[in-house]
Amino acid sequence: MSKRHVLVVDDEEEILQLIEYNLLKSGYACTCVSTGTEAVRTAHVLFPDLVLLDLMLPGLDGFQVCSQLKNDRKTRDIPVVMLTARGTENDIVRGLEMGADDYIVKPFSPKVLVARIGAALRRSPRLANGEPALIRARDIIIHPGRHEVLVKDIPVELTHTEFEVLCFIARRPGWVFTRSQIVDALHGPGYPVTDRAVDVQMVGLRKKLGDCGDFIETVRGVGYRFKE
């Protein structure tokens, strides 16, 4: 399975670096942004497994970001963990009532933070029983837990990377992903994979899917999408 992807939102660069270091060390993929507007936009592009959210942000504050994510059917199931210096009882109650899955007050222990993130992910309905739900896309059935793909009820053998790429784009039909976004989602930022390598994976994947390979569309100058 691909790494769990955490979107970290904080306007303090030192905090972002500290959190990113500890998440990467613990085996997570991580994307960092510093404004509320960026957080909402990025969540709708990457669909992370969890959002770690500061409250005091430029533009949209953390409460507004949480509200927008929880009121959108596409992002409402993404767990949100608030990490903030605002530790009054009213702030904590407000955050939890808005749908936050946990509320952590700064200063914080990196080890405890990583443990709380892991706990929130285990409770997430998107990752029930430790694995994503069955994915059905036209004549393709993908079972993440069994690492199994059926095309018109016939098993198809895929490499690990081909399987993860297919899962990633098939979960979001109609969405266009750049090659960099695909690599980041599978391996985390900074992984040394060229655009050409992604194209080769797509060619191999289409070939193995046979007629259903046409469901993977190339968007020229941008990247790839799975047809709706």
The rounded distance, in Å, linking the Cα atoms of 46 and 182 is 9
Residues 6+ apart with CB under 8 A from 54: 9, 10, 11, 12, 15, 62, 82, 83, 84
> 137-169: b or e for each residue (b if 16 or more CB lie within 10 Å)?
beebebebeeeebebeeeebebeebbbbbbbbb
The rounded distance, in Å, linking the Cα atoms of 106 and 2 is 30
Report whether pLDDT(130) > 70.
no
Mean pLDDT of the chain: 87
- Rounded to 5 degrees, φ, ψ at 5 are -105, 125
Residues 180-213: tens digit of each pLDDT: 888 877 776 666 667 788 888 899 999 999 999 9
Report whether pLDDT(101) > 90.
no
Domain 135-226, CATH among 1.10.3720.10, 1.10.10.410, 3.40.50.920, 1.10.10.10: 1.10.10.10
The rounded distance, in Å, linking the Cα atoms of 52 and 98 is 15
Per the CB < 8 A criterion, the answer to whether 149 and 163 are in contact is yes
- pLDDT on residue 1: 44
**Type of residue numbered 207:** K
How many CB atoms within 10 Å of residue 209? 20
Q: Which two tokens stand for residue 9?
A: 């939102």
The rounded distance, in Å, linking the Cα atoms of 217 and 44 is 20
Record: fold of 5-129: Rossmann fold (3.40.50)
**Which residue(s) pair with 224 in the sheet?**
177, 218
Q: Per-domain residue ranges for the chain?
A: 5-129, 135-226
- pLDDT on residue 36: 95
Residues 67-95: tens digit of each pLDDT: 999 988 778 888 999 999 998 889 999 89
